[in-house]
Structure 1
Amino acid sequence: MPVAAPDSRPVTSAAVPGPERPPKLALIGNPNSGKTSLFNQLTGLNQKVGNFPGVTVDRKTGLAPLGGARRAEVIDLPGTYSLYPKSLDERVIADLLYDPTSADYPDFVVVTVDASNLRRGLLLFTQLADLGLPAVLGLNMTDVAAERGISIDVPALERELQVPVVPLNARKGTGLAALRIVLADRLAVAPTRRFWEIPASLRPLVQQVRARFGLHNDYLALHYAHQFRQLHFLSEADRTDLARLTEQAGFDSTARQAEETVARYARLNEVLLDVVTVTRTERQEPASNKIDKVLTHRVFGYLIFLAILFLLFQAIFAWAQYPMDWIDQGISALSGAIQARFSGPLVRLLTEGVIAGLGGVLIFIPQIALLFAFLAVLEESGYMARVTFLMDKLMRPFGLSGKSVVPLISGLACAVPAIMGARTIESWKDRMLTIFVTPLMSCSARIPVYTVLVALVVPDESWLGLFNMRGLVLMGLYLLGTASALLSAWALKVVLKARERSYFIMEFPVYRWPRWKNVGLTIVEKVKAFVWQAGKVIVAISVLLWVLASYGPGQRQAQAEAAVQRQAAAQRWPAPETERRVASARLETSYAGTFGHLIEPAIRPLGFDWKIGIALLTSFAAREVFVGTMSTIYSVGQDADLGTVQQKLANEKDTQGHPFFTPRRALSLLVFYVFAMQCMSTLATTYRETKSWRWPLGQLVYMTGLAYLASLLVWQVF
């Protein structure tokens, strides 16, 4: 009977692609090694975002065409420097690569390395090679290496590593055709040469682990001993057995990791001695260092960042206004044209429910696209990493670290992935504080609320002929949210009495011009997510709300309508005024109006009425539902020909016939939405990340109380 080699890779049903399943390819590499750029080049728009099984870390997958009908399913793994994870998102790599029976186990991996810093990138490669994974080495950033006078003998490197090596420039797509050929012809192979020999003192433990779990590889068995406490696919019985085996062997994981790393670098020095040639050395200070002295300056750095944020918020109003007006007017014209030609309850459901709700989604696409375009450019250029470093000193007094900046800035887009992004923070204290305060950052879902109310009460004028007043107010709202997040973190730090010390180490990526294809992909992906995820909720709630606003309990609506008709006859109101009052009376006595009146006593001290109360209730599903709700409410309660959402709100009158949405009332409502926790998805994500209801419930109570008190202060005092 033939016997498999000690470190041969087993053939499992999960590892062998059939004719109906494309091969699985995992992209892995150091942070800033061009891995995500390569993923975008390979997959284009054929991407989707989900979660890794059992955890809430984002997983980007996509289908990559390899030529003809051949394709590969590509998984973009989190960036890491080694297979010994230091953060929660890096642990998903171990879960994926250490379980050969998993349905997601890759058939081969592409390891991206920075050609200008080859030694560091190859540390990860040697670990993957010793696991016996078929691999291809993507030698990225070859242009940067050439600029620095670094020459790499690719054939010699292939001989040393025993895997295909493909020179790449992932940002420009250079070398992509050669990589597709390698992948299509399945030229990836598992190296037979070991880059690190397991010490004899560890072999008994390794053999015991291999026998206990039926593993195919010595180095994989060693990683079970190192990381069994973090591997999600192991059972409690498995962990108990591994704890016993490692204790009996006197296994010191930290010391062994250090010994292995030193030995691997020594081996890499030998490999690279005849592979890498440096033809010149930098005699002058690199331009990036000179730029960093300005952008990370302790004074000018903050001013520059503030100016960039100011430009962003000015753009959201100034540049997006024209397409928003076109969309808003188009939706209004479509509803008017349908109602002019058809009539009946189904037509009203279509125009006042579906189309009004759809308008509440589509109108904000220009602003959402602009926000994500700016964030993508900052990320692509390398500036966002400098912001993280710059903000570290600012964050420390509030109990946060520089790594908290990435989730907080991501919170400007959406709190859900931002909270997930806190997994990169090693310190428990920093991570919990970041998760708790991130929802106070004004996310893109608040933009619809902000822009409608600001445009309603703030004149479209310029200050000093340069600064748009609406943009200044919008920036003030964002700064208010940021200040509240920092102050809340400081207060929570005092309450927790946390004394855990944390550290901050960050590598700056190279400055580059943004790759506009990647920026475009980011915009398309984020806008699509907004339309399909938030849009479905908004339209569904708009339809439900139309039903609740159009019908009421018993005969209350009919009685209210009859009372208005009698009053109209007695006072001889004109037909349009009679119709408006009838619609308003029917709305007030509807199911939605009844719910609004129930909570009106609680919100009246804030300057809100029962109609706003309805919007507050519905927007607990998602903040952006507020505008769709207001559009539906005023479509039902007013003449449908009033036009856009802003026009409908501007025409709303109080009991004395004055404009209802005064600057004072609008500011009270704006402040409420700055602080309020009105997103069920955020609460659910906080629970999944913290594994406790204490944190999401604390968020809900704290933020709702803060919003109520701040709004009360604005309405009653100012």
Structure 2
Amino acid sequence: MKVPINIALVGNPNSGKSSLFNALTGLNQKVSNFPGVTVDKKTGIARITPQLTANIIDLPGTYSLYPKSADEFVTYDVLLNPNGEDRPDMVLIIADASNLKRNLLFCSQIIDLKMPVIIGLTMMDLAKKKGIEIDLAGLERELGVPVVAINPRKNKGLPALKKNIELIAQEKFGAPARDFIENHQLAPGMIDGVKQALPGLSDYAALHVAVNYDELEFLDKSRQQSIRNLQQQQQFNKTKVQAEEIMQRYARIKHIMNSTVVETDPLQQQLQTERIDNLLLHRFWGYAILLAVLFLLFQSIFWIASYPMDLIEAAFGSLSGWASGILPDNNFSDLLVNGVIAGLGGIAVFIPQIMILFGLITVLEDTGYMARISFLTDRLMRQVGLNGKSVMPLISGVACAVPAIMAARNIENSKERLITIMITPLMSCSARLPIYTIMIALVIPNKPVLGFLSLPGLVMMGLYLLGFFMAILVAAVMKLFIKIREKSYFIMELPVYRAPRWKNVGTTMVEKAKIFVMDAGKVIMVISIILWFLASYGPSKPMQAVHTKYEQLKSQTKDSTQLADLDHQFRSDKLSASYAGILGHAIEPAVKPLGFDWKIGIALITSFAAREVFVGTMATLYSVGDADESDATLREKMASATRVDGTPVYTLATGLSLMIFYAFAMQCMSTLAIVKRETKSWKYPIIQFVYMTAIAYVCSWVVFEIFK
């Protein structure tokens, strides 16, 4: 066998597959896409022995070898394609010992593909709590493949697993010698015909080619046509054959379970998970607890993050003041202080909130509660043309819309998948968090509600819920217009409750902070520097006129207060006459009805690259316009900003209007690009951009008119 070897990692969802992948590969992982599709391809390098390495291919979880979604079809194609670049040398099946009967169906199908197989049994501790005892040697004998008990979270059983991998690599073990069931008898003529066209296939692989030949890309048109002709000749009924196959498999599984597994009476067992679910999935208390969890999530973002944010703000304010004091008064110093340092401050101040948000979401996922949220919201989802599976992408959208839209691939129903993709960007992602934070700090008083609740935290929670309910409303409308009739079923396994893996939580927080700093930070820095240039320079005649005017005014007075006022007015007029000012004034008529001035207008344009850029834009514009207050924080500069008539820019009406606009607007090029990739058409991202911008504009105008 070649070195390194290819190992396909397969299993039912929530079986512990990802934990094993992480345990085997550590940090030697990469994520790309499978050829021709947009499904994530997770691969990693594992050191099996000092002489043997393996490419571990983590395939999407699936319950059987008959695919229903794009993710499951990737697993199907990798296992069936005899010439694929990811063709495995062996298959490592992860099976949940506490749900062995259901997991054995998929195991038996893989066994009949006639590739070297190892079964890793996880959840042995849970099986023991359920009163389940498994005879591993007997199970191994019945299945005809190695069976190893493992616990990837605690690195138990991995040496034995690696030993079996080594033995297969040395060709001490081969493919299973016997079929799990008599596959050839299911459709003898059809199977023989397919094997004649495609030599080397097992009987069971040939049966699958006969069933799904028109969707298998490794078959050319002529072979697909010959199989189609063979189907007609043999009068092949794939539905009948599949039903017969599944019945035979479960009959054999029942025999294996009776001879190798001892279970106590399930009525005598009520696990802690079941008792907790009686409360968390209650028809009333379940929803009350869900709201309480969401409330605590957003309160924590303010409670915990306020201290490090204040320190970071103060540090960058002091750094700007110190740099202004020691550097000479020239363009390079201005760029460094008002471009680079201001841009960096706009990035760094929100790192604590990003880390806390992702940390808490990881805790919810790790404990198993996130799956319960899908279950609880399934009834609501069905009212608007979706189902509980749509909730996971929507919840993921709180972090970032791009992976959330990609997560919609596991929705089998094409209509529900399309609607989910179209509404997911309405969920308030982490990129909106910096905007919400700074606007809430400017216009919402930090006072307690009912004596112990934080008003800013309540407003933050309201913004996130607003995005969710707008998504539900839009979904209900789209349900009427998208004419795809297709039944859907919501079947989801609820994982057991577990204590969160704090190491995993910490790693996620650090990784997400790094992504925010590196990905969003690079965009913010580039735009900050471009904006500094646009805000510092302009057409020669208007800029010269501003200089001449204030030089004459300064020559007419010696009063220090008047000189300071003139200097402030000079910088304001210079910014207005700059290229940035010209651009801002050009778009101001369009945004003025929303309560926005020309500086906010510039931020709306620049933040289309990434919503986080709004804060960097404000930091640059206000730093260039108010260089005499270089040690002030951005919030202080924005709080003191005034319009031409002397009224404050950031009133309650303007602040709420701006938050509403960003809650609904499609201000993200990356999201539009991923929607195009997932739908394979520019039609849907264009519709998405138009409808979200229209909703944002109208709602923002209504809010401004109400509160002004």
**When the two structures are superposed, what TM-score results if normalisation uses the length of structure 2?**
0.93
**395, 408, 428: which one aligns with 1:422:** 408
The 1:501/1:222 distance shift into structure 2, 3 A limit, reads closer
Are 1:311 and 2:311 counterparts? no
Q: 1:170 to 1:554 in 2, by over 3 A?
A: same
Q: What is the CA–CA distance in structure 2 between the aligned matches of 1:53 and 1:638, rounded to whole Å? A: 52
Give the deviation of 1:608 after TM superposition: 0.9
Rounded Cα–Cα distance in structure 1 between residues aligned with 2:662 and 2:161? 49
Residues 1:228 and 2:213 aligned together = yes
Classify the secondary structure of the residue corresponding to 2:43: strand
For residue 113 of structure 1, give the secondary structure of its aligned residue in structure 2: strand
- Which of 169, 172, 191 aligns to 2:176? It is 191
* Pairwise CA distance, 1:229: 3.3
Matched, 1:104 2:86: yes
Q: Which moved more, 1:187-196 or 1:388-397?
A: 187-196
CA distance in 2, matches of 1:102, 1:379: 34
- 1:557-591 CA distances to partner (integer Å, 9 max, x unpaired)? 23323223334444666444333333323322222
1:585 corresponding residue in structure 2? 573
The amino acid across from 2:686 in the alignment is: L
Contact 1:449-1:627 at 8 Å conserved across structures: yes
Which one has a larger percent helix, Structure 1 or Structure 2? Answer: 2
C-alpha deviation, 1:234, in angstroms:
4.4
More off after superposition, 107-116 vs 332-341:
332-341
Matched, 1:653 2:635: no
1:228-307 matches, cutoff 5 A: 228-236=213-221, 238-278=223-263, 281-307=266-292
What is the RMSD of the two structures over their aligned residues, measured on CA atoms? 2.4
3-state SS of paired residue (1:408) = helix
Q: Deviations over 1:429-469 (max 9, x none)?
A: 22222111111111111111101110111122211221011
Give yes or no for the alignment of 1:608 onto 2:590: no
CA contact (8 A) 2:405 2:421 kept: yes
Q: Distance in 2 between matches of 1:647 and 1:186?
A: 67
Residue 284 of structure 1, CA deviation: 4.5
Name 1:437's counterpart in structure 2: 423
Change (3 A) 1:55 1:326: farther
Name the residue aligned to 2:620: 632
CA distance in 2, matches of 1:693, 1:251: 40
Write the letter of the residue equivalent to 1:292. Answer: D
Q: Which moved more, 1:684-693 or 1:294-303?
A: 684-693
Instruction: Give the aligned partner of residue 3 of structure 1.
Output: none
| Alignment partner of 1:448 out of 407, 421, 434 | 434
Deviation string, structure 1 residues 278-300 (Cα, Å, up to 9, x no partner): 35654153333332222112211
- CA 1:71 to 1:716, structure 2 compared with 1: closer, same or farther past 3 Å? same
- Distance, in Å, in 1 between the alignment partners of 2:332 and 2:46 is 45
Determine which of 617, 622, 626 is the counterpart of 2:610. Answer: 622
Equivalent pair of 1:40/1:518 in contact (CA under 8 Å): no
User: What SS is found at the alignment partner of 1:654?
Assistant: coil
1:472 CA drift (Å): 0.5
Q: Which amino acid aligns with 2:175?
A: A
Contact 2:143/2:180 (8 A) holds in 1 = no
Q: Which moved more, 1:37-46 or 1:85-94?
A: 37-46
Per-residue deviation, 1:69: 7.3
Flag structure 2 segments of 5+ consecutive residues without an equivalent: none
Partner of 2:15: 33
Alignment counterpart, residue 326 of structure 1, candidates 302, 311, 315: 311
Would you say 1:78 and 2:60 are equivalent positions? yes
Aligned AA for 1:377?
A: V
Q: Distance in 2 between matches of 1:143 and 1:174?
A: 12
Q: Residue 594 of structure 1 aligns to a residue in which SS?
A: helix
**Match for 2:547: what amino acid?**
E
How far does residue 70 in structure 1 lie from its aligned partner after superposition?
5.2
CA distance in 2, matches of 1:574, 1:72: 75
- Whole-Å separation in 1 of the counterparts to 2:579 and 2:137: 75
1:557 corresponds, among 543, 549, 560, to 543
Q: Residues 503-532 of structure 1, C-alpha deviation per residue, up to 9 Å, x if partnerless?
A: 222222112222223333333343333333
Q: Structure 2: which amino acid aligns with 1:657?
A: G
Structure 1 match to 2:443: 457
Does the 8 Å contact 2:385/2:475 carry over to 1? Answer: yes
Alignment counterpart, residue 126 of structure 1, candidates 97, 108, 116: 108
Structure 2 match to 1:367: 353
Does structure 2 conserve the Cα–Cα contact (< 8 Å) formed by 1:163 and 1:189?
A: no
State the SS of the aligned residue for 2:84: coil
The worse-fitting range, judged by mean Cα deviation, of 617-626 and 231-240 is: 231-240
User: Which deviates further from its counterpart, 680-689 or 344-353?
Assistant: 344-353
1:354-394 per-position Cα deviation (integer Å, ceiling 9, x unaligned): 33333333322221221122222212212122211111112
Q: What does 1:327-346 correspond to in 2, within 5 Å?
A: 327-343=312-328, 344-346=330-332
Moved more, 87-96 or 63-72: 63-72
Deviation at 1:476, TM superposition (A): 0.8
Q: Residue 614 of structure 1 aligns to which amino acid in structure 2?
A: I
- The letter of the residue matching 2:197 is R
Structure 1 length-normalised TM: 0.92
Structure 2 CA distance, aligned partners of 1:378 and 1:162?
39
Q: Would you say the 8 A contact 1:415–1:438 is kept in 2?
A: yes
Contact conserved, 1:94 with 1:231, CA < 8 A, in 2? no
Q: Which residue of 1 aligns with 2:392?
A: 406
SS of the equivalent of 2:433 reads: helix
| Alignment check: 8 A CA contact 2:186 2:244 kept | no
State the Cα deviation string for residues 200-220 of structure 1 (Å, max 9, x = none). Answer: 463443344344345443332
Distance 1:697 1:288, change over 3 A: same
Shift in Å, 1:238? 5.0
Cα distance in 1 for partners of 2:337, 2:89 equals: 51
Taking the aligned partners of 1:254 and 1:571, their CA distance within structure 2 comes to: 94
Cα 1:348/1:101, change in 2 over 3 Å:
farther
- Give the 3 Å change call, closer, same or farther, for CA 586–61 of structure 1 in structure 2: farther
> Is the contact made by 1:565 and 1:578 (CA closer than 8 Å) also made in structure 2?
no
Distance 1:154 1:586 in 2: 80
**Counterpart of 1:55 in structure 2: which amino acid?**
V
1:245: how far off?
3.7
Matched residue type, 1:382: G
Q: CA-to-partner distance for each residue in 1:684-706, whole Å, 9 max, x for gaps? A: 22122222222211111111001
Shift of 1:302: 0.9
Kindly provide the CA deviation profile for residues 101-160 of structure 1, in whole angstroms up to 9, marking residues without a partner as x: 333333322211111121211221222222222222111011011112211122222233
Distance 1:222 1:663 in 2: 67
Number of the residue aligned with 2:46: 64
Give the Cα separation in 2 of the matches to 1:222 and 1:342. Answer: 77
Residue 667 of structure 1 is aligned with which of 656, 673, 682? 656
Deviates more, 1:408-417 or 1:239-248: 239-248
| Aligned pairs, number | 700
Q: Give the distance between the partners of 2:551 and 2:18, measured in 1 at CA.
A: 66
Instruction: Tell me, in whole angstroms, the C-alpha distance in 1 between the residues paired with 2:301 and 2:223.
Output: 54
**Residue in 2 that maps onto 1:703:** 692
